[in-house]
Amino acid sequence: MIRYVNVKSRMRNEFIDITEKVQEVITEEGMKSGVCYIYVPHTTAGITINEGADTSVQRDIQTALTKLVPFEADYSHREGNADAHIKSTLVGVSQSVFIDEGNLLLGTWQALYFCEFDGPRHRRVAIQLIKAVTPS
């Protein structure tokens, strides 16, 4: 069954730590060993794993992305959010993380981030847990 985590962004560009919300889904489902697949069904958002302790890293990533993909440029897309679509493709819309002993197998400094590129908006993130098959 696909579960959803709701996310409310407050800024046009914003990284939101969803690690705890995803972990809650795993705990509620009682999944001990497997893979957690995290997918963002949006064209102007993304999902990434990076530094969770020092929030300046998120700001540096956002600054670097905006340097690469400025808000205004010679874009064909007339909706005014071409930069957000391009950032979504650069970052990607999915991640998969192993589940080990009921917990997301993230490194000490890693966190799962929902990446908003065209906020503020209400968004949702789809979570699918796949149970590990162990040989009997």
Q: List interacting residues with Zn ion (CB under 5 A).
A: 79, 81
Residue entry with tokens 């890693």: 110
Q: State the nearest-atom distance from the C-beta of 39 to Zn ion, in Å.
A: 19
Q: State the nearest-atom distance from the C-beta of 85 to Zn ion, in Å.
A: 6
Q: Is the Cβ of residue 114 or residue 117 nearer to Zn ion in the bound state?
A: 117
Q: State the nearest-atom distance from the C-beta of 80 to Zn ion, in Å.
A: 7
Q: Is the Cβ of residue 31 or residue 82 nearer to Zn ion in the bound state?
A: 82
Q: Is the Cβ of residue 18 or residue 45 nearer to Zn ion in the bound state?
A: 45
